[in-house]
């Protein structure tokens, strides 16, 4: 077994960027407040080590930051773009969606845009409606973009390194609530392949497909279900585009039931894509109708009790799973 060190989710990302900058002089980062370590501290110490030209502070203009990164990527460098909050990245949507995502196709493969757009997502300490969103479905919808959502410190190391080495633009979604999460991270070189899901827990009765912070709530729900005799398999997609269809289909073929869980709003969420795909391919094999569980279609409130009302909890996941595994659910299918 490879040696490992216990590291936080945020420290793993700092290590990933430092290792890639040391390995490849074309890698650099730009964004607001990077010189003082970034708004969450994910760039701590990097400007002192690599200099202000490679850990570059920028004006407060997301469109300017993304536009500069697209041009720099087309010119042959590998920029890492810091958007601070995914909500703020909407100011740079044209540069990302209309320029970065399309350049390879529109130039007949003669150009590429190897940038990583880091966009912290999710609910975090009453950050309210403009700082709490999970918009991964928007980006998964856009041809040309890769979408990554790590849930563990090891994956935040391995996936960020793989994203930096990718030749297409990557929307890299780190959950703000996971920054202090500790976990074992392999020592030495560690790459997590893009597009490969992780079976976080094996089971036989029900498949829970999820990503990002919901991995941990699904695992908590699975432990509660196990006490009732229901063994849930938990699949952390890790990458939303491309997503690991084969692993999901294999799991649902085994269990006969699928519940997709995400923090984003249920309506139009990426769970709908997974549910539709599985229903198209495995309808005759399903023991119960496919279900989705996400947030209600409401803005996320500042007040903690109202914010909590929008959260997907382990109890809600377990309750949905119990309904699907009850005898009546099979009759309904």
The residues carrying an active-site annotation are 131
pLDDT mean by block of 10 residues, the chain; 333 residues: 91 98 98 95 96 97 96 98 92 96 96 97 89 94 98 98 98 97 97 98 98 98 97 98 98 98 97 98 95 96 93 97 82 51
Neighbours of 276 (CB within 10 A): 11
- Report the predicted TM-score, pTM, of the whole model to 2 decimal places: 0.95
Neighbours of 1 (CB within 10 A): 4
- pLDDT (0 to 100) of residue 127: 87
Neighbours of 296 (CB within 10 A): 10
> What is the Cα 293 distance to its own chain's centre?
17
- pLDDT (0 to 100) of residue 330: 52
Alpha helices in 135-263 (DSSP H): 136-140, 153-165, 214-227, 245-255
Among residues 208, 318, 291, the alpha carbon closest in space to that of 252 is found at 208
Among residues 64, 98, 99, 97, the alpha carbon closest in space to that of 81 is found at 64
Task: Determine the Cα–Cα distance for residues 204 and 284; give it in Å rounded to an integer.
Answer: 18
- pLDDT (0 to 100) of residue 327: 75
Among residues 148, 292, 141, the alpha carbon closest in space to that of 212 is found at 148
Q: At how many degrees (to 10) do helices 270-282 and 245-255 cross?
A: 60
Task: Determine the Cα–Cα distance for residues 57 and 39; give it in Å rounded to an integer.
Answer: 12
Kindly provide the b/e burial profile for residues 13-49, where b requires at least 16 CB atoms within 10 angstroms of the residue's own CB: bbbbbbbbbeeeebbbbbbbebeebbbbebbeebbee
Token pair recorded at residue 83: 């958007």
- pLDDT (0 to 100) of residue 1: 62
Judge residue 228's burial from the number of C-beta atoms within 10 Å of its C-beta, 0-12 exposed, 13-18 middle, 19 or more buried: exposed
């Amino acid at each position: 077994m490879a040696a490992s060190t216990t590291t936080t989710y945020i420290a793993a990302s700092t290590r990933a960027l430092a290792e890639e900058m040391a390995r490849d002089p074309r890698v650099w980062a730009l964004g607001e407040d990077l010189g003082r370590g970034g708004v969450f501290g994910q760039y701590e110490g990097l400007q002192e080590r690599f200099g202000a030209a490679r850990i570059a502070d920028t004006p407060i203009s997301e469109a300017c930051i993304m536009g500069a990164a697209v041009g720099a990527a087309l010119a042959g460098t590998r920029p890492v773009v810091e958007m601070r909050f995914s909500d703020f990245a909407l100011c740079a949507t044209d540069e990302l969606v209309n320029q970065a995502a399309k350049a390879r196709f529109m130039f007949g493969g003669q150009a590429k845009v190897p940038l990583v757009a880091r966009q912290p997502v999710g609910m975090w300490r009453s950050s309210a409606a403009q700082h709490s969103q999970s918009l991964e479905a928007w980006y998964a919808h856009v041809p040309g973009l890769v979408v990554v959502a790590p849930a563990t410190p090891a994956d935040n190391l391995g996936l960020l390194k793989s994203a930096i080495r990718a030749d297409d633009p990557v929307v890299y979604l780190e959950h703000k609530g996971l920054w202090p999460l500790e976990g074992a991270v392999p020592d030495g070189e560690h790459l997590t392949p893009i597009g490969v899901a992780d079976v976080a827990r094996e089971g036989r009765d029900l498949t829970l497909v999820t990503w990002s912070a919901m991995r941990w709530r699904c695992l908590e729900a699975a432990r509660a279900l196990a006490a009732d005799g229901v063994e849930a398999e938990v699949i952390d997609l890790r990458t939303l585009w491309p997503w690991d269809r084969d692993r999901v289909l294999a799991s649902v073929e085994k269990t006969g039931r699928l519940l997709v869980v995400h923090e984003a709003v249920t309506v139009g969420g990426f769970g709908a894509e997974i549910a539709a795909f599985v229903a198209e391919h495995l309808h005759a094999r399903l023991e119960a109708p496919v279900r989705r569980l996400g947030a209600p279609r409401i803005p996320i409130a500042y007040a903690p009790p109202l914010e909590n009302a929008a959260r997907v909890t382990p109890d809600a996941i377990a309750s949905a799973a119990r309904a699907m595994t009850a005898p009546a659910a099979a009759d309904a299918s």
